[in-house]
């Protein structure tokens, strides 16, 4: 379940997302915060690592930062800002495919889009 850590032979599961042992600690720490609904804090953890990252890791972290920022906008009731950030994150992460580094990117986006839709219905 979201926010819960469980051990697996291949690594650990953070909020239902398998994290391999070779993944960066910042990625795992950010995911734990993200799945606990602490989107701003996740953004900050990933941003620190993003500044040092290169190549696909940099692309992944940048997209996750944008995704977390979209959730912050949802929390603030800024639906247009959230929608814009979701589009940017999708474009940034598209070259990585539907999953990358053990992350189901499609699921993360589906959850964010559903959260945005729910906030608009409220």
Average pLDDT taken over every residue of the chain? 81
Report the number of distinct structural domains present in the chain.
Answer: 1
For residue 71, give the CATH number of its domain: 1.10.3450.10
Average pLDDT over residues 32-37: 93
Q: Could you report the per-residue pLDDT of 88-115, keeping only the tens digit for each? A: 999 999 898 888 878 898 998 889 889 9
**Which residues in the chain belong to E strands, given as ranges?**
5-8, 11-14, 17-19, 99-100, 103-104
Whole-model pTM: value is 0.77
Q: What is the pLDDT of residue 13?
A: 47
So what's the pLDDT on residue 97?
87
Distances (CA, A) of 105 to 77, 100, 108, 121: 24, 7, 5, 25
Cα–Cα distance, 73 to 85 (Å, whole number): 9
Give SS3 for 98. coil
Structural domain that includes position 14? 5-121
- Tell me what pLDDT residue 23 has: 56
CB atoms within 10 A of CB 41: 16
Model confidence over 46-95: pLDDT tens digits? 998 898 888 888 999 999 999 999 999 999 999 999 999 999 999 999 89
């Amino acid at each position: 379940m979201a926010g819960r850590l469980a051990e697996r032979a291949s690594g650990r599961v953070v909020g239902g997302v398998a994290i391999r042992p070779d993944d960066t600690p910042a990625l795992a720490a950010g995911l734990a915060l993200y799945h606990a609904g602490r989107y701003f804090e996740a953004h900050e953890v990933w941003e620190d690592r993003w500044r040092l990252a290169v190549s696909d890791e940099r692309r992944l972290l940048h997209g996750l930062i944008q995704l977390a920022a979209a959730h912050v906008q949802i929390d603030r009731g800024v639906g247009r800002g959230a929608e814009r950030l979701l589009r940017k994150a999708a474009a940034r992460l598209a070259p990585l495919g539907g999953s990358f580094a053990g992350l189901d990117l499609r699921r993360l986006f589906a959850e964010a889009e559903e959260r945005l839709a729910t906030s608009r219905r409220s």
